[in-house]
Amino acid sequence: MRKRIVSSALPLVVVVVGVFALARMTGSPASLYLPLNATDAMRADFIAKNGLDQPVLVQMFDYFGGLLRLDFGTSLRTGEDAAAMALRAFPATLQLAAMTMVIAIVLAIIVGSAAALKPNGVLDRFASFVSMAAASIPDFWLAIVGIWVFAIYLGWLPTSGVMGAAAWVLPVATLVMRPFGALVQVIRGAMVTSLSEPYIKLARSKGATEYRVVTGHALRNAAAPALTVAGDLTVGLINGAVVVETIFGWPGIGKLMIDSILQRDFAVLQACVLLTALAIFVLNILIDLGYALLDPRVRPAAGARARRKTRAVTIENEPSEPIEPNVPTAASASV
């Protein structure tokens, strides 16, 4: 686990450094925050006041020094603490991702398990077609079509906002397609493998109901690979909900990130990226722990105990004295 933490922390630093450097390449924010008739003295004062007159490396070292003091900088737009703005927007993204994954997992378990009961049957082929189509549809296209059909043409749902249950329908329906399609394939494959194992045949021969066989035996063993994929998809939702949040006006960290890019609010952009990267880092650690709980074979302690036990058995079975090779003699050969 320690190696996992160290290996995950290095990309975190690389992402923060990369975003810091790329943000400065978009140009000076003075052209956005000062009037058109601003003088050169006003521009120079604005740049110096916000520390943008220093070389990029100096600004980067100052930024990391501030991070050590938990100082993420101040927003150029509002003058508010950048970390507070990012933390205020992040729960909306987490709520959207959590709702999406809960619905995707429940639907995928139902469809994938039903398809695995009769491989290559009608339901299996239909489920495979639906899952592949769902995983292939671009999020932005589905969001635009959903707004045009259900919000503009039919007038059933709002186009943006978070007020009321109706405002959740289009964003969640847009984001749920991709994880649903991927999870159906994973659960279906894992269930087909589990249902063909000898212990399933033994459970059926003992009179266990099909519901008990599927939910109590096969689905439990298929949960480990599904958990890993679900965790990766959740990471993708947190990291990739930027477009959907922008289209639907969802007040999450993705929309805040886009607004910060357009307005060259460097401190808020860096706080959003750092908070998102930290959330993905923690989520990956939780995925590893959850996988270890479901599959004891991947636990480091269990693996070490197994290796020690194997070594002890090997040493115990080793002969204490060397055995002479059985070489035939001349007398025995003549006989």
The per-residue pLDDT for range 259-293, each reduced to its tens digit, is 888 888 888 888 888 888 888 888 777 777 766 67
Helix axes 266-294, 82-117, angle to 10 degrees: 40
Residue 143 near residue 174 (C-beta atoms within 8 A): yes
Residue 98 has pLDDT above 50, yes or no: yes
Residue 102 has pLDDT above 70, yes or no: yes
pLDDT score, position 103 = 92
DSSP string, 263-289: TT-HHHHHHHHHHHHHHHHHHHHHHHH
The per-residue pLDDT for range 9-60, each reduced to its tens digit, is 677 778 878 888 887 777 778 777 777 777 878 888 888 887 787 888 888 8
Segments in 118-165 forming alpha helices (H): 122-136, 139-146
Q: What is the CATH number of the domain that holds 170?
A: 1.10.3720.10
> Do the domain assignments include residue 58?
no
Note the pTM of the prediction, 2 decimals.
Answer: 0.73
> Do the domain assignments include residue 313?
no
> Do the domain assignments include residue 44?
no
> Do the domain assignments include residue 95?
yes
> Do the domain assignments include residue 12?
no
Residue 330 has pLDDT above 50, yes or no: no
- Domains identified in the chain, total number: 1
> Do the domain assignments include residue 105?
yes
What's the rounded Cα separation, in Å, for the pair 152 and 157? Answer: 8
Residue numbers of the domain that contains 266: 82-300
Q: Mean of the per-residue pLDDT values for the chain? A: 77
The per-residue pLDDT for range 301-319, each reduced to its tens digit, is 444 444 454 444 444 444 4
Query: What's the distance, Cα to Cα, between the start and end of the chain in Å?
Result: 65
> Do the domain assignments include residue 14?
no
Burial 123-151 (b: 16+ CB within 10 A, else e): ebeebbebbeebbeeebeebbeebbeebb
Range with lowest mean pLDDT among 115-129, 133-147, 278-292: 278-292
Instruction: Collect all residues with Cβ–Cβ distance below 8 Å to 260 and sequence separation of at least 6.
Output: 266, 268, 269, 272
> Do the domain assignments include residue 4?
no
pLDDT score, position 36 = 76
Structure tokens at 283: 């989520």
